[in-house]
Amino acid sequence: MKFIVFGHANKDTEAGVLPTGEEFAKMGKFIEELVKAGVFVAGEGLQPSSKGARITFGKGGKTTIKNGPFTESKELIAGFSIIQVKSLDEAIAWMSRTPSPEGSSLEIRQLFSDEDFAPVDPTGELREQDAKLRAEADERHGKS
């Protein structure tokens, strides 16, 4: 099963402070460990929320755009990884050794897999449509 792991933002990530060379190396080593164990799937870091925007869908089709930064930094995300493991316990066991600074936190969430949608999509038609679009998107990004 696949899990996504969100790294929460803090003052530094929101200020766009880059990790030091040492921190970067430590994280690199940790990710290398995940890769070597066949666990790591993907991961990216996020720019500060000051470079982002939020869209709120209101009544009657009215949308509101709010530019960053967003102040409630507890809710903000600074990065994510996707890992493939056998259980939530295993995900916890791996991610507990993230070389994160004191006071920081991670959130682990299980990703839906194809079969999870069976109750709302009994014929599989919607899932097929979805898979087709993903394949097309990959192709356009030149991934295959």
Q: Which amino acid is at 51?
A: K
Among 10-18, 19-27, 60-68, 88-96, the segment contacting another protein (CB under 8 A): 88-96
Interface residue with another protein among 56, 63, 64, 144 (CB under 8 A) is 144
Quick check: 132 binds another protein (CB under 8 A)? Answer: yes
Smallest distance from the beta carbon of 16 to another protein, in angstroms?
29
State the distance between the two ends of the chain, measured CA to CA, in whole angstroms: 24
Interface residue with another protein among 60, 89, 101, 103 (CB under 8 A) is 89
- x/- binding map, residues 67-86, to another protein, per CB under 8 A? -------------------x
Smallest distance from the beta carbon of 45 to another protein, in angstroms?
21
CA angle centred on 44, ends 43 and 50, rounded to 5°:
150
Round to whole Å and give the CA distance between 76 and 1: 25
If the CB atoms of residues 36 and 74 are measured against another protein, the closer one turns out to be: 36
Interface residue with another protein among 23, 107, 116, 138 (CB under 8 A) is 138
| Region 99-128 residues binding another protein, contact defined as CB under 8 A | 114, 124, 127-128
Residues that bind another protein (CB under 8 A): 35-38, 41, 86-87, 89-90, 92-94, 96-97, 114, 124, 127-129, 131-132, 134-135, 138, 143-144
